[in-house]
Amino acid sequence: MQRVLDPKASAALAPVQGYLAELHERVSGLTGGNPADYIPELSKADPAAFGIALATVDGQVYAVGDADRAFTIQSVSKPFMYGYALQRYGRDAVLTHVGVEPTGEAFNSIVLDEVANRPFNPMVNAGAIAVAELMGGATQEQRIANMLALFASLAGRDLEIDEQVFRSEQATGHRNRAIAYMMLNTGMIRRDPNEVLDLYFRQCSVNVTCRDLAIMAATLANDGTNPITGEGVFEAQYVRDVLSVMNSCGMYDYAGEWAYEVGMPAKSGVSGCIIAVIPGQIGIAVYSPPIDASGNSMRGIRVCQEISNEFELHAFNNRTNVRSVIRRDYCGDVVRSNRLRTPEERKVLAKEGRKVVVIEVQGALFFGSTEQLLRKLTQLATEADYVVVDFKRVHFADTSARKLIWRATRSMAGGKTELVFSAIADDGPLAALARELAAHEENRLVRVFCDADAALEWCEDQLLARSPQGVSGPKFALSELDLFKGLKPEEYRLIEPIVRPLIFDKGEVIIREGAEAKLFFVVARGTVSVQIRVPGERKKRVASIGPGLSFGEMALLDGGKRSADIVADERVICYGLAVEQLQELAATHPNIMITILSNLTRDFSERLRHANEEISALE
């Protein structure tokens, strides 16, 4: 849905709206130029009419002045018709009909590329006439309907032809007729020139507003998808072609100076409109009828110049720092997964954890930033056995980035260091990369995990499996459990009658948040997850607990409500101990409770100390 800010909104609340209002007031005083008079209907335009609109790629529209006044689109129709031709026929086929070379001549010059037997580019009249012939449809009526449907999909609403302007164009378009017949003579067009010109005059006579043009320009900025309706109009590969030609040819014989001063792909029309596109950001439209000798709106040029300078939107203002692609990196001896470990396992990870390295990546991945990432990855891989690349904060990866990442994956496969990826969702901006990596997961060329925590846990398990201490297996004897270490043999025998073996199937909730805390548990076999509720009613795992470790032990201390869910990750065997029974036993054998609480305190203290170290490392 289109979002439009109230033009009277405070500049403090709407900085963009406020800036455009100030810009409109400032440029309104600019004089010079006159409405186009070689098309009689255009000469009737009000010279004081002046509107500015700006549309973002996520559908926000800002508008000031006469942004909703209707006027005819004229030559601003040309890039969109060119995009249609590319989309329908493909790049190679369209290139046989029209080239992409600037002419340095006026928009209506009778100059053709006789060597290639085609007009020089689709932004001059000759090229636009050749492109008009490519509109699909078996009859003229169908072609007109298809042309209007194209513009409707771009503007997000139905548009109509201004019949008076159309008839005026038709009556005075002698120069265009000369161009069309010259093109027919050399085979550059094949249909009846009058029929082709009829469609060309009609496309130029479509009524639009400044707001419409801003949305149409934002569709180009948004890789061909209308940001208001969400409709895909052009493929991104053809948007690139359209913007390239707009950048070099869109402002006719003023194109070089425009590129130097403004630096945005743009297109002007003799009705006094200009569109400009900042890829990935915004579309700009200006309407002001007085035009200069090149056919460009005087106020439109000034508006685009000021916006470009004010916000540094020139195409060659480089604000991409590839060195910022790496947010941070850390080793597994300092930052560990949320899997709780036994004291023996923690000792192993404290010693061997440096063999695991996590690289947090951020921003957009393209050739330059990915090259920086891979260079850092190669450096860290010389010391590490496992490198986890966390993509949680990456919002885009282009084709070159995906190719480089896949090359790195193949080159490292089977080597000393194993490359592991995390947080590459298959339904987001990294979907293409996710699909490419998933296709090779089965043959173990690559491993991909849902998040960095899961990847880190897997790497830790590999280190523990290689260690003499190994990963903790099932622990059924009470004497093997850390919670009860230090008890005397007779004290173990006293506890055994109040210990209840419990079995839970995968996915079963063992403890539910908010329930009364009457039992605490020790895992004998399998693993369980500690889950908390986060905004949006979604559950998040904050810890994983395996054999020999306890959970729900806060019941011993305060007996309050449960603060999280505990869910079985697999078939789990636990020991459940009733707090009330243990307290009754401790009344006559106090050393039992003293020993258990001492073990808990020691474990909590070690966890807290390591948590502090992790926080310090991640700051």
Q: Say which residue the tokens 């085979």 belong to.
A: 187
Catalytic residue among 19, 62, 75, 233: 75
In this structure, the strands spanning 207-208 and 71-72 are antiparallel
Q: Is 448 among the residues known to form the active site?
A: no
Sign of the CA dihedral running 58, 63, 67, 68: positive
Task: Report the C-alpha dihedral over residues 170, 174, 177, 183, rounded to 10 degrees.
Answer: -150
Catalytic residue among 62, 82, 252, 575: 252
Catalytic residue among 57, 78, 205, 355: 78
Q: Is 288 among the residues known to form the active site?
A: no
Which is nearest to 89 in space by CA: 77, 102, 100, 98?
A: 98
DSSP label at residue 120: S
Q: Is 78 among the residues known to form the active site?
A: yes
Q: In this structure, what token pair is assigned to residue 120?
A: 């020089």
CB 204 within 8 A of CB 163: no
Q: Is 270 among the residues known to form the active site?
A: yes
d(CA 183, CA 181): 5
113 strand-pairing partners: 118
Give, in order, the Cα–Cα distances in Å from 355 to each of 380, 458, 550: 10, 13, 28
d(CA 600, CA 598): 5
d(CA 327, CA 324): 7
d(CA 605, CA 617): 18
The phi, psi pair for 294, rounded to 5°, reads -85, -5
Q: Say which residue the tokens 């700051």 belong to.
A: 619
d(CA 503, CA 173): 87
Q: Can you tell me whether residue 362 is helix, strand or coil?
A: strand
Catalytic residue among 61, 94, 124, 270: 270
Q: Residue 330, CB half-sphere, CA atoms under 13 Å: how many? A: 20
Q: Name the residues annotated as catalytic.
A: 75, 78, 200, 252, 270
